[in-house]
Amino acid sequence: MLQKVVEIKAPSTATLSASASGKLLTRPELDAYDPRAESWQKQFARRYTHHSELNGVLDGVENVDETVYSKFAVALTPYMAQLMDKSDPACPIRLQYLPSHHEQTVPGFATMLDQLGEEGDTIPGTSIVHRYPRRVLFLVSNTCATLCRFCTRKRMVSQPAGSVHKDEIEASIDYIAGNPLIQDVLLSGGDPLTFTDERLDYILGELRRRAPHVRFLRMGSRMVVQLPTRITPELCAVLEKHRVQMVNIHINHPKEITPLLRERVKMIQKAGIMMGLQTVCLKGVNDDVEVMRELFMQSIEMGVRPYYVYSTDMVEGAHHFIVPHHRMIELYEGLRGWISGPAVPTFIVDGLGGLGKLPIIPSYVKEEVLDDGTGTTIKCRNYAGKTVEMPGLGQNYSLPTRSN
């Protein structure tokens, strides 16, 4: 299918009006913009919310049909737009955030809105997804700074019906407080950092006050990467005050790691908070060994431990990002042994319908039956393809009993 490309024209009255509203509608305006110069709330208000607003900023913006917006909105911070290549439609940042005609295709798979079965594991009256025995997912928001086209929660993110109401948050805290077996709480959404410091202070404080049995309190945020200036000394003080032990951030390509991001990551770390990296394996964005090696080494270099690489979820409108299983195996093998061990994440498939996170692990060690039937042997293969046989690992020896 041929892509429609919008022509870049001289600024119209509508363009001037939009510019007056604070949106940066020309490339010189965008290039001159300094995210450090104003509050994160003002930057949030400057977000692009329609592909046509990018015509003066990027070349070759695809003119997608308006039906795309009925399924999933567009939102893009000026900071992320600055990272996009002006003239390359295949820019890995552009691919993640700009709508595409592919989203209008119905492939016969990847058509679900709740492909992970989260609604079935949601406690009625709350926004708690309780799938595993001792840990819960606490969805606190349906808002993000920038909307990823492959978002796994399109059923709620950016959707008015997906809003998490105050009474649901209160009921969620009640549920956690009343279940002493829950030891691990993950705040996610949407993005928890779209809340004000005061709102986060309240939610985290109530969790710590009313649920002292929670041993591990963590947050997942893409906003750290999409709007790094959200990380302020005041926010870090709130996270430290309530002993948030871990913040997981989401980066898919080395282009997203900037000096500003490194600066704000260090602020979180100085508050005594561990940081982990989550990545989604996306066709055309990072399904390349060298790209992943660089991404994970840059991440570990700034003290953020690569945690998971997810396969693209089978969510509606994201089928064109899906990387085949065999290719994910190849990518994993291109990392283990070739980069630092702590920089190698676990590759994951999130099973349909609530099956949970399932590791994708190539076979480096195999147990095989000996030809003579007397037992088994272990055949090992390393990252470089060298092999060795270890028959001793295939035996179950019993220690001899000492007689008196």
Which residues form the catalytic set? 131-132, 135, 144, 148, 151, 153, 313, 350, 357
Tell me the C-alpha to C-alpha distance, in Å, between residue 74 and each of 153, 230, 384.
Answer: 14, 20, 44
User: What tokens appear for 142 in the block?
Assistant: 């349906």
User: What tokens appear for 182 in the block?
Assistant: 């829950």
Do the bridges between strand 274-281 and strand 305-311 make them parallel or antiparallel, or are there none, so unpaired?
parallel
**Eight-class DSSP state of 48:** B
* Contacting residues for 20 by C-beta, under 8 A, at least 6 apart: none
Q: What angle do CA 25, 27, 33 make, to 5 degrees?
A: 85
Integer Cα distance of 390 and 379 in angstroms: 6
* Contacting residues for 174 by C-beta, under 8 A, at least 6 apart: 126, 210
Amino acid at 245: Q
Q: What are phi and psi of 43, to 5 degrees?
A: -65, -40
- CA 195 distance to own-chain centroid: 18
User: What tokens appear for 313 in the block?
Assistant: 């979820």
**Eight-class DSSP state of 5:** B
Number of neighbouring beta carbons within 10 Å of residue 177: 17
Integer Cα distance of 243 and 273 in angstroms: 8
